[in-house]
Amino acid sequence: MANLPSGNPRLWALNQVSHRQTRQFDWPRNADGQYLRVTDIYGINTFSTKAMKEKLSKQTFQKLQATIKQGKKLDRSIADEVAHAIKEWAIENGATHFCHWFQPQTGLTAEKHDAFLSFDDENQPIERFSGSQLIQSEPDASSFPSGGRRSTFEARGYTAWDPSSPAYISEEPNGKTLCIPSVFISYHGEALDHKTPLLRSIEVLSKSALPVLKLFGNNSDRVVATLGPEQEYFLIDKAYYMLRPDLIATGRTLLGSPPPKGQQLEDHYFGSIKDRIQSFMQEAEFELYKLGIPIKTRHNEVAPSQFETAPIFEELNIASDHNQMVMEYLRAVAERHDLAMLLHEKPFAGVNGSGKHNNWSMQDSDGNNLLEPGKTPNQNLQFLVFLVATLKGVYKRSGLLRSAIAGSGNDHRLGANEAPPAIISAFLGEQLTGILDAIEAGTQAENGTEERIIGLSISHLPDVARDYTDRNRTSPFAFTGNKFEFRAVASSAAISPAMTTLNAAVAEALDDVYAQIKASLDKGVEFKKAVLEVVKKTIIETKAIRFEGNNYSEEWVEEAARRGLPNLRKSPEALAEMVKPESIEFFVNSGIFTKEEVEARYAVRVERYVKDVDIELQTLKELVKTYVLPAAYKQQQLLATSIQSLKDVLGGDAPEHQVDDLKSLSKLINKLHKLMDKFEELTTEHSGHEDLDKEAQKMGYKVLPAMLEIREVCDALELVISDDIWPLPKYREILFLS
């Protein structure tokens, strides 16, 4: 590492970056020196089916498999044997400690490590791991967000193993740890985490889907939701990161003048990946393969220094855990490459932000995709039922879906002409829209239409709908041939809140659709007719949620208002959806949350929003006072000295241009001072912790706009202050030089 020069630290960063070497990463080889295949290393750090088979008795293996497949709790009677097997496997692979790995409502994961070390009756050291240690652990719940639950419930919570997600070994530079994916609940069973409601919603969806399948003669015993999350992120050099207090504290730049070249040349998306980045991706993928995470795709994204990774889809619960691990490992491996990975939804103004595209579908117990149009009329009818039920769920609960993706970061991205707007709508594509329109228009008299549709048109759908041209990148919820893609999810957020809400919404709609079909059948209506009638009715009912046009346009905002679709622009209004009486009723009826749990979750989310913005505003104040203004004063002095010396040497009037420069600089400085005074007033009058809602409103509608005004002046200053004085790494450096 080069020494830190005493001058401008920004120049030190540039110097560092210009000397970076691409980190060599050697893919492991076998004894003959041949490279190992991905299939040789895939999942070696997970307690996989193969490892289980080796380590467990046949009977226990079968019981455990059944538990995993049915998403049930572990049978106590086999817990000790399973724990012993996992321990042996983990120790053979170098682990010394174990931890319950869980997802408190921070959006991150948490873990508390314990050594296997114990002592036997003769006081000799042994390695021990009991069934009860596997099943349950007690972290101190009082330091995690609980939304005030602690006053109502007991302070203590516990974590419990989720056997449906494989235990794995995490490798650190100086040791290894066995990680046990777990839920985190209070002693009375209230969910304190993201995983518990997700698991509940997966069960609820299955329960509601099964009777519908049964109508079509499908006797599946379980329906699982599937998920393939595409993850966007930024990578920047660590030297820049270290010199940006805003990135460190808030994850985004609060200041920074857009560079002359941003993303307008459209030369980054799918461009060739730089060696340094590719080397990072290869090492990250290597780590993820060992953990059994099926990473498939990597590419440059739209913004400079923006990238994407996507796995092959998996069962939702596992995909959700895996996405948390992907975020963690990308960050850790980036460090090794002297890169900082940014997961914030809008780290840089003026270029695209990041999201997560959640590709979602449902599968029966034979692995058939329920959103895959079929070949036979019967299959197609079934497809239509699941399709319209999904539309109905999204239509009816669109406000809640919006609330599920709310957060201070995503507010900057949604509707910023790059990401879907805050209005939730669904895109189906021309073909499918045509089919639904035809069903809607079809009358009983011309029965043939419907026959043709379910017989022919739908069977041809897959080829057409999967064609990339029939996509609408502006839609928040798009059908892409055999799945829906929820594109408005925040890049840094846990997947669970969005997916929990979607599952519950679709489950509710499936119940409703089923009840209607059943009622017709009971009245003696013929099966196909009964189903089609309900499909048609649902198509008409949910028409407002379907939008095929440009979601970025101003016309859509007006059109959506006419249709009565909610447009919840900022988090405070979006989050408020959660605690509306009808929302609480929905969550309680679906069995996802109790009233208290919803209220607690709401409190956690609002508090988080307020804290996020509070950290941003404190950081901005510091940046202005200790970076921007001092730089501006130096520039002022530079000009003043220059003017004075010119006058001394040449005599006569002060040099006109320099004086003008000095005046306009001083004007900007004065303006900044005035704005900062107002800002100080605004931000010190606290509405008080008691009224968190009011505080959130203030943050969203007063503080953030005020921060933007301040930013404008700072960015103008950046453009007139000598480059060797400006201390903060500039956009053109951060985004283009690595």
Nearer to ligand ADP by Cβ, of 309 and 697: the residue is: 309
* Beta strand extents in 643-719 (DSSP E only): none
CB of 49 to ligand ADP, least distance (A): 21
Residue 146 is given by DSSP the state -
Q: Which of residues 325-364 bind ligand ADP (CB under 6 A)?
A: 359-361
For residue 490, what are its two tokens?
């925040």
Nearer to ligand ADP by Cβ, of 326 and 617: the residue is: 326
Q: Which stretch binds Mg ion (CB under 5 A): 19-27, 39-47, 354-362, 463-471?
A: 354-362
Give the distance from CA 422 to its chain's centroid: 16
Per DSSP, what are the bridge partners of residue 361? 226
Kindly write out the interface string for residues 192-231 of this chain, putting x where it contacts ligand ADP by CB under 6 A and - elsewhere: ----------------------------------xxx-x-
Give which of Mg ion, ligand ADP, none residue 516 binds (C-beta under 5 to 8 Å, depending on kind).
none
* 10 part of the interface to ligand ADP, by CB under 6 A: no
Q: Which of residues 645-684 bind ligand ADP (CB under 6 A)?
A: none
Euclidean distance between the first and the last CA atom of the chain, given in angstroms as a whole number: 16
CB of 383 to ligand ADP, least distance (A): 13
Give which of Mg ion, ligand ADP, none residue 226 binds (C-beta under 5 to 8 Å, depending on kind).
ligand ADP
3-state secondary structure 424-493: CCEECCHHHHHHHHHHHHCCCCCCHHHHHHHHHHHHHHHHHHCCHHHCCCCCCEEECCCCEEEEEEECCC
**Do 508 and 590 meet the contact criterion of CB atoms below 8 Å apart?**
yes
Q: Which of residues 464-503 bind ligand ADP (CB under 6 A)?
A: 480, 482-483
Give which of ligand ADP, Mg ion, none residue 361 binds (C-beta under 5 to 8 Å, depending on kind).
ligand ADP
Q: How many residues of this chain bind ligand ADP (CB under 6 A)? A: 15
Q: In Å, how far are 376, 452, 539, 565 from 434, measured between CA atoms?
A: 19, 13, 12, 22
- In total, the chain counts a number of residues equal to 738
CA 584, 589, 593, 597 torsion: positive or negative? Answer: positive
Q: Which stretch binds Mg ion (CB under 5 A): 270-278, 352-360, 383-391, 415-423?
A: 352-360
Kindly write out the interface string for residues 357-396 of this chain, putting x where it contacts Mg ion by CB under 5 A and - elsewhere: x---------------------------------------
CB of 556 to ligand ADP, least distance (A): 22
Could you tell me which of 345, 393, 9, 21 has the C-alpha nearest to residue 209?
Answer: 393
DSSP letters spanning 3-47? PPPSS-HHHHHHHHHHT--PPP----B-TTSPBPPHHHHTTTTB-
Instruction: Candidates 61, 144, 313, 679: give the one binding ligand ADP (CB under 6 A).
Output: 313
CB of 101 to ligand ADP, least distance (A): 23
Give which of ligand ADP, Mg ion, none residue 707 binds (C-beta under 5 to 8 Å, depending on kind).
none
Could you tell me which of 134, 180, 138 has the C-alpha nearest to residue 157?
Answer: 138
Instruction: Candidates 310, 349, 436, 568: give the one binding ligand ADP (CB under 6 A).
Output: 310
Give which of Mg ion, ligand ADP, none residue 312 binds (C-beta under 5 to 8 Å, depending on kind).
ligand ADP
Q: Which stretch binds ligand ADP (CB under 6 A): 195-203, 308-316, 497-505, 673-681?
A: 308-316
Element (H, E) at 562: helix 554-563
* 311 part of the interface to ligand ADP, by CB under 6 A: yes
For residue 452, what are its two tokens?
């043709």
Footprint on this chain of Mg ion (rule: CB under 5 A): 357
Footprint on this chain of ligand ADP (rule: CB under 6 A): 226-228, 230, 310-313, 359-361, 369, 480, 482-483
